[in-house]
Amino acid sequence: MHTALPILYSFRRCPYAIRARLGICYSGVRVALREVVLRDKPTSLLDASPKGEVPVLVLPDGKVLEESLDILNWALVYNDPQHWLPCDAASQQQATALIEENDGRFKYNLDRYKYPERYPDEQGLDYRAEGEKFLQQLEQVLGRHRYLLGEHPGIADIAILPFIRQFAYTDKDWFDQAPYPYLQQWLVAFLNSELFLSVMQKYPAWQPDDAPTWFP
């Protein structure tokens, strides 16, 4: 079905898709949301992005954004009312370094901790210990100020939040008792926020004949 608005292919629980939806909802830019069942990906998604991963944003001019950070930045360029984008080079470097660590080494350890059945020759708890190195880094930062780049939320917080959530909920009892009080407080505040709750609403799987589901 034709729509003049951007089309976002998403999967509710995917941390990359959560990242994209947070940026879109915060910015207020409207998109047509298409919730995807990953085991039965729609042909239109594969036509737009043959790798078949979410999120994917198809713009009205046909341009396709296939990376969550690209979608997040696109949304913030459209509208950034609380100044999530860093305002100086030093803050930009700090944000980039944290996001790269999250998307690289931490995500590697997170996958092996959360899904040990996919890596039968490896020990999940060993990867939790490796992932904790990033938690410790964030704990130190949050001990100095409320958010990762200062006293106000920014792109680093939003980009990293879904992955810390996934790590925490792999064994919530363990995480709640772990020695990361600042990180725990930071996570709970975001998870209870109106923004996060709004992007985690459940939608039925999209079908080609469905009327558009507007988001936000």
Please report whether residue 2 resides in a domain: no
Same structural domain for residues 170 and 202? no
pLDDT in tens, 115-135: 988 887 778 899 999 999 999
Joined tokens for residue 92? 């930009």
Same structural domain for residues 22 and 100? no
Q: How far is CA 115 from CA 10, 166, 174, in A?
A: 21, 11, 16
Q: How far is CA 139 from CA 88, 159, 182, in A?
A: 23, 16, 6
Q: How far is CA 98 from CA 10, 59, 153, 203, in A?
A: 24, 28, 14, 31
The CB-based long-range contact list for 190-195 (8 Å cut-off, 24+ gap) reads: 190/157, 190/161, 191/165, 195/22, 195/25, 195/26
pTM across the whole model: 0.95
Mean pLDDT of 38-55: 95
pLDDT in tens, 60-69: 999 999 999 9
Higher per-residue confidence, 121 vs 75 = 75
Containing structural domain, residue 96? 89-196
Same structural domain for residues 52 and 130? no
Same structural domain for residues 101 and 113? yes
